Structure 1
Amino acid sequence: MNVTEAYVDSLALNGSAIKNGRDLVKKNSFPLLCESEDRTVLFGECKGSGKDPYRCSADFAVEGNPVFRCSCPSRQFPCKHILGLMYAYADGKPFETAPIPSDLAEKREKAEKREEKKKEAASSESPPKRKTNKAALAKKAAAQLEGLAIAEKLVLHIVHSGLGSLDKKTLQTAEEQAKQLGNYYIPGVQASLRELLLQLRSDEERESLYTGAMERLLVLYALLKRSKTYLQAKADDPDTPVDTETTLEERIGHAWQLAELRDHGLVRGERELLQLAFRSYPDEARGEFVDEGYWIDMGDGQVHITRTYRPFRAAKYIREEDSFYQIVQTKELIRYPGELNARIRWDEATLRDAGAADYSDIRSRAVRSFPEAVKRVKNQIKNPLSDKHPVMLLHAAEIRKSEQSFVLVDEQGKRLVLGDISHLEHPTVSLLPLLNGEWLKGQAVLVMFGHDMTLNRLIAQPLSIVTSKAVIRLLY
């Protein structure tokens, strides 16, 4: 068991859960702390509000996929008692070696049998294929097309009326109509429409407001047009192949299931990943908090994204992601449809500390030619439905101060202007003068690209710098 404070922090739902778990240890709330003879199970008792203590445990029999149990009624999981148990172990508190309680042993045995059955089913020569309900698919596609028609009428009304003529009453009516789209299985389209309406309600200066609104209108128009063509084909023929090359399905609102992604071959074997940057932000249009991590695949150097959505109403019950500093070793890596920065996820993983050899390997993966990087970015962002802010790891011979801003310079002397992108809402360029001069020469720099309307050119915002010894994070 490699139970460290950083590992326990990564399991907690949020900062409050971390504090509550640590406080239990400080208050000596655990009259009983035990460890199994094979050192795979931690269990104990924690004082609660009632006369009987809560019985909590952490079973690490399956490496990378621990099982937590607690007798408390908390809806947060792992609860503060389980976190406190592991914090006590990480802090070096004395744990008594004892036999696993009978109830835990029984549950463990049942879990092992379930895992064995899963492995047998997975290894069978002809695993049962999921049957597709073609009638249900056609019915759903028809409902989605009906919803798209409503959204299209609303967009056309906004365009014909003119952005300048939209008042609060008109926008209120439009928002009520957008709310109706929740009945048509197109939550992605609904969120895009809400983004437009939120933009029109903002207090930005008029020129900036209309520029942003026009960009969103163009994206929304492209989304409606392509979605209509795609869904019509599915309504006409339920056997139409699912789009697994682009993010169209996700933009319409489809929530990919792991079984689907496996069926479409979007699974890789063992991989090693290191997080290079992280951010968390509220998405008002979706009504959710978004936790977003940028990870480099140590195998091929690709930069991927992990993205967790936490609905505002249930945020305290869903684990809040955070910056992560250890290397994640996954047994299976799931890849979502996407482009330069495809979304990924995994279920089981083990951790190890990063070393000099790892940082050297990451640095060798950085793109060394800026013209090549810019070409790849332009090829992506010219598609209206592509991510307009791709992230890439670049090798910079130097980070230099120019007359107006900082620039990255590659080995051929080509420059890339650095600037803060409004999309991020977190400036980082102003931090560069504070860095050690050695970190500004011959380093790998993770940047996010964006199009500056004022300069009419691509700019890049630095997110982190990978040196030979560490990752210097400018964005958390």
Structure 2
Amino acid sequence: MKHLTEQQIAAMAPNASAVANAKKIVKSGGFTHLARSADDTFYMGDCKGSGSSVYSVSVDFIDEAAPVCRCSCPSRQFPCKHGLALMLKLLEDEPWETCEIPQTILDKRARKEAREEKKEEKGRTDGEAKKSTKASKPASLAARTKKLKKQLDGLAMAESMVNELLNAGLATLKGSSLKTYQDLAKQLGDYYLPGPERLIRTLILQMQDLEKAGVENGIRERGIAESAGTLVRLRALIRKSRAWLTEKLEQGNVEDENSVLYEELGGIWTLDRLNELGLKKENARLLQLSFQESCDMARKELVDQGWWIDLDSGELSVTCHYRPLKALKYVKEEDSVSDMVRVPCLSYYPGTGNRRIRWDRQEFEPVTSAVMSEVRAHACASVKEAVKAAKNELKNTLSSGRYGCLLSYALIGHSAEELTDETTLGLMDHDNTTIRLADRPGDQPGVFRLTQLPDPGFLENQVLFGVLWYSTELHAICLHPYAVITDQAVVRLLY
């Protein structure tokens, strides 16, 4: 029998509700027939559907890293709840009949193998003929050059808007002028600039929220600071991008390259291109430290964000999975991962600090005490060192405003000398240096949950994972706690 874990099955599910529905099918005895091939690469079953309908479900494990679920139901989710339920049945100790692999499945395997061989052959020939291919397609180069020039025209238009706002003030962005800037944001999409378009939409949403807030000082001051920060980020993106695109045109280098500006302008990286640029690592071992879901109304998307640590290097990285609000039913939803993940080829996005990562294949392994020891060994022992590293990243106007770090601490509590307010918490390292713990606006709260931990020992001589960020209200760098790392487990504060 094929050995699977519930974590592996959940990772394949399009969303959490699909897993929940699959469990209901298993619990209610939805399968009337179960069979498997003698070589354990193929499993099939008949599952009760709505009314008198019965669905034929199968899972093909010829590629163990990427099982293929097939079902006769009309669902547009892959795998559907019936396919997930069939895999969940593998967790139960029940007898399965032995069957022959259907010819249709064998034919599909053969076609898939032929496609993969063709793809490998194409990859080999493409590598040899790369230079000649570029030389033989001047039209492609001309199209890219035209696109860069179009982007420069769009950036000039956006810069004019920014200068108007800087001269007139953010307070003028209201009423009828909001409609003008909304139209401008739409126009930037025609100039291949979805990145600046999103920033303008973000600015508009922030100013609309300010109007609703009225005269409440605390909320208004924070909103003004956020809006000003968005405007500064937009201005910096325009200036840096214009210089970058102009240089590329002058040098005749119109290909996408290892630069964070490509994605900031709205470019989309493929795994193949990232690997071509050498932004990859083979056989990486990762452990997720935190996971949260947020809604970006400027993008009109839900964002599934996970924080991961590379167990070998200690590098902290981020995964971001975007799901359009209008297509939530059809886009796979990411979820938290409690197992260790082994990735054959890990791809990095250009950037500094906590780089974004992606991969297409993974294997799950149990988290042992040895794994937790590796995580804790990568923790920084000094608050001063962590803050110094964060400053170098946070001063970059194009940064996310967060700097993930692992900090070894002696104590978390109200007793730090600088923290006279009893409602605040601070972290003290083993050199008696303290830093204030505060929730970053826009993120899920984590500070209060530290006071709700069941074991007081979690607040002494442990390791904390969190993000360092600059508070415009306190005029200081604060630490937003995401998880406590003990020698046995990752105790998550965000969920």
Do residues 437 (structure 1) and 450 (structure 2) align? no
State the partner residue of 2:223.
209
- Helix, strand or coil: the match of 2:178? helix
From the superposition, tell whether residues 123 and 243 of structure 1 become closer, same or farther in structure 2 (CA, over 3 Å). Answer: closer
Which of 366, 376, 382 aligns to 1:369? It is 382
Superposition CA RMSD, Å:
2.1
Q: For residues 122 and 367 of structure 1, what CA distance do their matches in structure 2 show?
A: 42
The yes-or-no answer on 1:187 pairing with 2:194 is yes
Residue equivalent to 2:39: 38
In structure 1, which of residues 222, 245, 253 is the aligned counterpart of residue 266 of structure 2? Answer: 253
What letter is aligned with 2:319?
A: T
Counterpart CA distance in 1 for 2:128 and 2:32 is 49
Which amino acid counterpart does residue 59 of structure 1 have in structure 2? D
- Matched position secondary structure for 1:139: helix
Q: Secondary structure at the match of 1:220?
A: helix
2:167 to 150, 160, 165: 160
- The answer to whether 1:263 aligns with 2:282 is no
Is residue 279–residue 291 contact of structure 1 (8 Å, CA) maintained in 2? Answer: yes
TM-score under structure 1 normalisation? 0.94
Q: Does 1:151 align with 2:158?
A: yes
* Counterpart Cα distance in 2 of 1:440 and 1:166: 46
Matched, 1:114 2:115: yes
Distance 2:92 2:61 in 1: 18
Q: Would you say the 8 A contact 2:141–2:254 is kept in 1?
A: no
CA-to-partner distance for each residue in 1:391-422, whole Å, 9 max, x for gaps?
Answer: 11111122232333222222222112111111
User: What amino acid maps onto 2:489 in structure 1?
Assistant: A
5+ residue gaps in structure 1? none
Cα distance change, pair 4–341 in 1 and its aligned pair in 2 (3 A): same
Q: Secondary structure at the match of 1:293?
A: strand
Q: Distance in 1 between matches of 2:257 and 2:433?
A: 38
Q: CA deviation at 1:126?
A: 5.0
Structure 1 residue 32: Cα displacement? 2.0
The answer to which of 395-404 and 44-53 deviates more is: 44-53
Question: Which is further off, 292-301 or 111-120?
Answer: 111-120
By how many angstroms is 1:195 displaced? 0.7
Higher mean displacement: 232-241 or 278-287: 232-241
Call closer, same or farther: CA 1:275–1:221 in 2, change over 3 Å: same
Per the alignment, residue 216 of structure 2 pairs with: none
What is the match of residue 332 of structure 1?
A: 345
Measured after TM superposition, the shift of residue 352 of structure 1 is 1.0
Is the contact between residue 134 and residue 238 of structure 1 (CA under 8 Å) also seen in structure 2?
no
Match of 2:248 among 209, 212, 234: 234
Aligned residues: 474
Please give the alpha-carbon distance, in whole angstroms, between the structure 2 residues aligned to 1:48 and 1:233: 61
Please show how residues 243-392 of structure 1 align to structure 2 within 5 Å.
243-244=257-258, 246-392=259-405
What amino acid maps onto 1:180 in structure 2? Q
Superposition pairs of residues 67-82 of structure 1, within 5 angstroms: 67-82=68-83
Show the counterpart of 1:200: 207
Name the CA distance, whole Å, in 1 between partners of 2:431 and 2:50: 67
User: What one-letter code is carried by the residue in structure 1 that aligns with 2:144?
Assistant: L
Local SS of the residue matching 2:17: helix
Q: Is the 8 A contact 2:174 2:207 kept in 1?
A: no
Once the two structures are superposed, what CA deviation does each residue of 1:255-312 show, in whole Å capped at 9, x if it has no partner? 0012211110111110111100000011000111100000111110111111100011
Q: Aligned in 2, Cα 1:236/1:93: closer, same or farther, shift over 3 Å?
A: farther
Counterpart-to-counterpart distance in 2, 1:144 and 1:369: 44
- Work out the CA distance in 2 between the residues paired with 1:158 and 1:313: 32
CA distance in 1, matches of 2:352, 2:391: 13
Q: For the residues of structure 2 that align with 1:149 and 1:50, how far apart are their CA atoms?
A: 61
Unpaired segments ≥5 residues, structure 2: 135-139, 214-218
1:254 is paired with a residue whose SS is coil
CA 1:70 to 1:191, structure 2 compared with 1: closer, same or farther past 3 Å? same
**Percent of aligned pairs sharing the same letter:** 38
Match of 2:157, SS state, is helix
The alpha carbon displacement at 1:50 in A equals 7.9
Inter-partner Cα distance in structure 2 for 1:17 and 1:135: 47
Amino acid at match of 1:22: K
8 Å CA contact 1:137–1:235 kept in 2: the answer is: no
* Contact kept? 2:37, 2:99, Cα under 8 Å: yes
CA deviation digits over 1:106-130, x for unaligned, max 9?
Answer: 2123223333444555577954438
Aligned to 2:437: 418
TM superposition score normalised by structure 2: 0.91
